[in-house]
Amino acid sequence: MKKQKSLTVNVIMNTLLSMSAFIFPLITFPYVSRVLLNVGTGKVSFANGIIAYFALFAQLGIPTYGIRACAKVRDDKEKLTKVVQELLIINTAISILVYIVFLVALFTVPKMRNDSTLFLITSSTIFFNVIGVEWMYKGLEQYTYITVRSIIFKFIGVILMFILVKDQTDYVCYGFITIFAASASNIFNIINLHKYISLKPVGNYDFKQHLKAVVVFFAMSCATTIYTNLDTVMIGFIKGAGENGYYNAAIRIKSILVSIVTSLGAVLLPRASYYLGNNLIGEFKKISAKAINFVFIIAIPMLVYFMLFANESIHFLAGDAFDNSILPMQIIMPTLLFIGLTNIMGIQMLVPLGREKCVLYSEIAGAITDLVLNAILIPFIGAAGAAIGTVAAEAVVMVVQYIYLKDEVKPIFVEIRYGLIAIATIMSAGVALLTKMLSWHPFFILVVSAIIFFGIYALVLTVGREPLVLELEDKFLGRFLKKWKTKKD
C-alpha cells in the first residue's frame, strides 16, 4: 500500500468542501432573497429539484460505486485506468440518453417550458457531473485538490452574484451563477485526469462486471434523491414557487450542518473499503465506532442550538419576509442526527461490507414514507408538512439500517455517553438562551450565543473526559505545542 493520506486532513478538507457547497449560498442568500424574494428563489429551487432527477439517472450509481471501485485498485495504475475508463464510458453513454429525454420534457411540460432558459442552464449540471470524475479523486483520497479548486470557483461565484443579480428578473442569472459555482470546477478534473491514469484507450473493456453493482447503487441514489428532492418538487407543483421559497430558506442552514456531520463518513468510505479489501477487520471496526461517536457528539448540540435560534437564523439569512420559514427549519433539525448515523451505517459500513442492498431497502422505506406524508401534509401546511415528511423519512432509514447492522453497531451504541452529552447540551442551552434578551441584530446574537453554547459544550465534555473529545484535543493541541516549541527553540 502506498502512503495513506492523513485521515485528519481528509476529514478537514471534505468538511470544507461540503460546507463550501452551502456556505456560498449562505453568504449570498441574505442578499439574493431580498432582491429576488421568495418567488424568484423558489423558481430556481424548483428547477434544481427537477434537474436533480435527470442528473440521478445520468449518473446511475457511479458517484458512490466509483469511489469503492477506485479505492480497491488505487495502488495499481493499470487496473485503475481500466476501471475509470469503463465507468466514464458508461456514464457518458447514459448521460446522452438522459439529455435527450430532458429536451423532450422541456418542450412538453408546461411548468418547464415556461422557464426553458432557466432549465437549460441548470441542466448543464449533467455535463459537469460526467467530466468531473469526482468519484475517482475521492477514491484516491485527493480531498485537498478537490477542495481547493472547488472553493476558488465558489469564491468567483460570490463576486458574480453581487455584480450581476440586481432585480427580481435576474433569477435566471442567479441559477447560472449557482451552477457555475458548484460545478464549473469539474473542468479541471478532466484536464488533470492524465496525472492519475493513462488516457490511451486500454481496450478489452468489461462493462458487465460493473453493471450489477451500478444498478444497485443507482437504485440507492434513486431512493435517496426521491426523499431529498421530493419535498421541493411536490411543494412546487402543489403550492407554487412562493411556498417553495420559504422551504428553500428553511433548509439552507440544515444543509450546511448536515455537511459537517457527514464529513467524516464521506472520507472513510475509501479507507473502509481498503481495510476490508485487505482483511483489516480490526481497523474497520475501530474507525466505525469513532465515526458513530463523532455523529452523536456533533449532531445533538447543533440540532438543539438551531432549533432554539431558528428565528435569529432565518431573519439574518433571509430577512423578515421569510417568517414562514422558521417553523419548517425547527421541525427539520433532528435530521442532522438521523442523516449523520445513516451516512455512517450505510455508506461507511454496509457499502464496504458489500451489503448495499440493505441500504437500498432502507432508502426505499424512507422514500415511501416521505411520499405518503408529503401527499397528505403539503396541501394543508405547505413547507412545514414537507419538513415533517423529511424527518419521518430519515428516521425510518436510520431504524431499518440499525436493524440490518444490529450485531455490529449495538455494542458501539451502548458505549456512547448519552448522559454526558445531554448534560453538556442542557447547560449550554440554558446559558446561551440569555442572549435572546439582548436587543441586538440577529447576526450578533447568533455569534455571541454560538460562542457561549459550543464553548460551554466543549468544556463540559472535556471535564467529563469524553474519550473522542480528549483524543481530538490532544491531537490538535499536541501539534500546536510541538510547532510552538520547535519555533521557540
Count of structural domains, the chain: 2
Q: Is residue 172 assigned to a domain?
A: yes
Final residue of a structural domain among 416, 438, 456: 416
Domain that holds residue 423: 417-489
Shared domain for 362 and 422, answered yes or no, is no
Shared domain for 198 and 309, answered yes or no, is yes
Shared domain for 365 and 226, answered yes or no, is yes
Shared domain for 384 and 465, answered yes or no, is no
Q: Alpha helices, DSSP H only, in 184-280?
A: 186-191, 208-238, 241-261, 263-277
Residue 91 CA neighbour count, 13 Å, CB half: 26
pLDDT in tens, the chain (489 residues): 444 555 566 666 666 666 666 666 667 777 887 787 777 777 887 888 788 888 888 887 788 788 878 877 877 888 888 888 888 888 899 899 999 999 998 888 888 888 888 899 988 888 888 888 888 888 777 777 777 888 888 888 888 888 888 887 888 888 888 888 777 778 888 888 888 888 888 888 888 888 777 877 777 777 766 666 677 778 877 776 667 677 877 777 787 788 777 765 555 555 665 666 666 677 777 778 888 888 899 899 999 999 999 988 888 877 777 788 889 999 999 999 999 999 888 877 887 777 878 888 898 898 889 889 988 998 888 888 889 998 999 999 999 999 999 988 898 899 899 999 999 999 999 999 999 888 888 889 999 999 999 999 999 999 998 887 887 777 666 655 555 555 555
Residue 205's SS3 state is: coil
Residues 6+ apart with CB under 8 A from 421: 296, 297, 300, 301, 461, 466
Q: Is residue 13 assigned to a domain?
A: yes
Shared domain for 369 and 485, answered yes or no, is no
Shared domain for 373 and 485, answered yes or no, is no
Q: Is residue 424 assigned to a domain?
A: yes
Distance CA 463, CA 455 (A): 12
Shared domain for 334 and 467, answered yes or no, is no
Shared domain for 237 and 316, answered yes or no, is yes
Q: What is the DSSP letter of 73?
A: T
Cell readout for 305 is 442550538
Q: Is residue 1 assigned to a domain?
A: no
Shared domain for 80 and 210, answered yes or no, is yes
Q: Is residue 234 assigned to a domain?
A: yes
Q: Is residue 2 assigned to a domain?
A: no
Residues 6+ apart with CB under 8 A from 152: 185
Greatest extent of the chain over all pairs of C-alpha atoms, in Å: 73
Final residue of a structural domain among 370, 398, 416: 416
Q: Is residue 343 assigned to a domain?
A: yes
Final residue of a structural domain among 416, 445, 472: 416
Task: Tell me the torsion sign for CA atoms 465, 466, 467, 468.
Answer: negative
Neighbours of 441 (CB within 10 A): 12
Shared domain for 336 and 476, answered yes or no, is no
What angle is formed at CA 62 by the lines to CA 60 and CA 66, rounded to 5 degrees?
Answer: 170
Shared domain for 267 and 400, answered yes or no, is yes
Q: At what angle do helices 62-72 and 77-106 cross, to 10 degrees?
A: 170
Shared domain for 346 and 454, answered yes or no, is no
Q: Is residue 119 assigned to a domain?
A: yes
Residues 6+ apart with CB under 8 A from 431: 452, 453, 456
Return the pLDDT at 5: 53
Q: CB–CB of 338/398 below 8 Å? A: yes
